[in-house]
Amino acid sequence: MDIKSMKNYLYWLYCQFELITCSYLMEPWEKLLFYTFNITMLVTVLYTAYVFVPVHVSTAFQFFLHLLGNQHESTVSVVK
């Protein structure tokens, strides 16, 4: 029952996507072209995210830690 309603919901979402992007009106070969293009772009974006985002996040984290770390030391010296 839960699977069925989940499947219906996913089908409804797919229909919404079709209507919004006008792929409901396209001929089958146009739909194939459009979906291939979209899925390729999506896969590329996800792959780029997978490869580069951890590196960027850790660099940014190190940068902020460095900044905060310096400031912390300087405040300690002033207070003393």
Q: Which residues contact other proteins (rule: CB under 8 A)? A: 12, 15-16, 18-27, 30, 34
Specify the residue, 21 or 36, whose C-beta has the smaller distance to other proteins: 21
Closest CA to 57 of 46, 45, 65, 67: 65
If the CB atoms of residues 20 and 51 are measured against other proteins, the closer one turns out to be 20
Residue 27: what are its φ and ψ, rounded to 5°?
-75, 160
Of 10 and 22, CB closest to other proteins: 22
Least Å distance between CB 30 and other proteins?
Answer: 6
